Structure 1
Amino acid sequence: MSTVAVAIICKTPAPGKSKTRLSPPLRPEECAEISACFIADLSATIAELAAEGDAEGYAVYTPAGSEGALTRLLPPDFGLVLQGDGDLGQRLDKGIADLLALGHVGAILVNSDSPTLPKAVLRQAVDLLKDGDRVVLSPALDGGYTFVGLSRPHPHLFADIPWSTPEVYRLTLERARDIALPVVELAPWYDVDDAASYALLERELDGLPLTFAPAGLVRQPAARTAAFVRRRRAALAATQHAQAGAA
């Protein structure tokens, strides 16, 4: 059966180097911890998808030499592909090309900041990439995208993009039009990369609906991320209680 590679593009978590925009409200060691939770939860979602038979899970990772620490967060059958050099666009382009070179009919790169991303959206992306040359995108609320999928390398898609700005998604659509590449836009999701999006994650895990999500779309439980949020809340509550008692 022809398979699609579904990969998390990630940095192996380390305090002071992971999810730094989440500090504050999180401490540097908490940023690294939640990054590990995100990777573990996303890879579990991808492993569920791979169990259906037409997808394979990978981490497209950095830095070299961190394989041992990263492997502990991943399912046992995940592959590892080292990221290339350059800006994010160059690394995305090389990641797609490297995965396709392994013999897959399509490749999807998922950011490592969306632990509750529904498996159903990735399922749609896999199906679409088995049927023709196109780019498959899930818009992100911050103006980027949650994942990008291709069935052939298209370097122009990633060229001259001002990464980490609200213009990323719009300019990606322009690049696709430049080369007459069909675009399929799937359900939007969100990245957890600052205080506001962390608060959104907490509300989602509390069961509050996401106003941007299509009706009926079921989020992933993100068990490790949810456990982190519960522990952190409990620790903050205990600290506040102790401070109140000492006042």
Structure 2
Amino acid sequence: MPAETLANRPVLPQLHLLAKAPLAGQAKTRLAPLLGDQGAANAHAELLRHCVANVCQALPAENVTLWTALDHAHPLFIELHEQFGLTLKHQPDGDLGARVRHALNHTPGPAMVMGSDCPSITSALITACAQQLTHNDVVILPAEDGGYGLIGAQQDYPGLFEGIPWGSHQVLSATRQRIEALGLRAAYPATIWDIDRPEDWQRWKEVAAAL
């Protein structure tokens, strides 16, 4: 391939996936009324496997980092590392904004961060986000519940993650306001949904059965 063609190829972003270990009573606890503590942990493991498979279909494994929490040596994390060849890192302390910003800035150049409970983020959507990030400062996949399932940035933008009411229905609107205040260009390719409540899990089971 000619050198000029290589030079014009877009830089693939790094993708950082945040995930807890699937420990009973500590993962997907809002699913416990339907599934029980262990069932909720098993559901979390299923979602994480699905999300990792989608990510590694969209991007090469060397571009993917799984940021672990609760039990960094959990067998599921080791399984995913060995199966897909992705990198494992420990999530740092701090609120969600601090952890997302840390992951985005862990590698130079464009990067994206997503959670492990958004099976509606397909490999095609991840590819679309990577493409959008080549000509936007920020890319976001808004979630139906008022948050977002993926965020990407070309570089570090101080203030983007500060003062956001994490865990509330105002996360997306507050982030949009921050993007506008910082004068950044943003793309919102699609709206997705994540799995927090029993009805979300039942929705996913219906979708998965049709795949």
Range of TM-score over shorter length: 0.7 to 0.9
Q: Which SS does the other structure have where 2:64 is aligned?
A: strand
> Contact 1:106/1:152 (CA < 8 Å) preserved in 2?
yes
Matched, 1:177 2:180: yes
Number of positions where the alignment pairs a residue of Structure 1 with one of Structure 2: 201
1:96-126 CA distance string (max 9 Å, x none): 111x2xx4x3111111111242211110111
Q: How does 1:45-64 map to 2 (within 5 A)?
A: 45-51=54-60, 56-63=63-70
Kindly report the root-mean-square deviation, in angstroms, between the aligned alpha carbons of the 2 structures: 2.0
1:148 to 148, 151, 173: 151
1:136 to 136, 139, 156: 139
Query: What residue is the counterpart of 1:18 in the other structure?
Result: 27
Q: Which SS does the other structure have where 2:151 is aligned?
A: strand
Deviates more, 1:73-82 or 1:115-124: 73-82
Q: How does 1:36-185 map to 2 (within 5 A)?
A: 36-51=45-60, 56-63=63-70, 65-66=72-73, 68-74=75-81, 75-98=83-106, 100=107, 103=108, 105-131=109-135, 134-185=137-188
> Contact 1:36/1:73 (CA < 8 Å) preserved in 2?
no
> Contact 1:84/1:95 (CA < 8 Å) preserved in 2?
no
Partner letter of residue 41 of structure 1? H
Query: What residue is the counterpart of 2:40 in the other structure?
Result: 31
Matched, 1:204 2:211: no
Q: Distance in 1 between matches of 2:92 and 2:153?
A: 18
Q: Distance in 1 between matches of 2:152 and 2:77?
A: 23
User: Cα offset for 1:68?
Assistant: 4.6
Query: What residue is the counterpart of 2:3 in the other structure?
Result: none
> Contact 2:142/2:188 (CA < 8 Å) preserved in 1?
yes
> Contact 1:15/1:28 (CA < 8 Å) preserved in 2?
yes
Q: Which SS does the other structure have where 1:141 is aligned?
A: coil
1:30-67 CA distance string (max 9 Å, x none): 1111111111111111111124x9x7222122136425
Aligned-pair identity in percent equals 24
Query: What residue is the counterpart of 2:190 in the other structure?
Result: 187
Judged with a 3 Å threshold, the aligned counterparts in structure 2 of structure 1 residues 90 and 131 are, in CA distance, closer, same or farther, namely same
User: Cα offset for 1:155?
Assistant: 3.5
TM-score by length of 1: 0.75
User: Cα offset for 1:71?
Assistant: 2.1
Partner letter of residue 81 of structure 1? K
> Contact 1:57/1:78 (CA < 8 Å) preserved in 2?
yes
Partner letter of residue 97 of structure 1? N
Deviates more, 1:59-68 or 1:9-18: 59-68
1:136-171 CA distance string (max 9 Å, x none): 000101100010011101231111111111100000
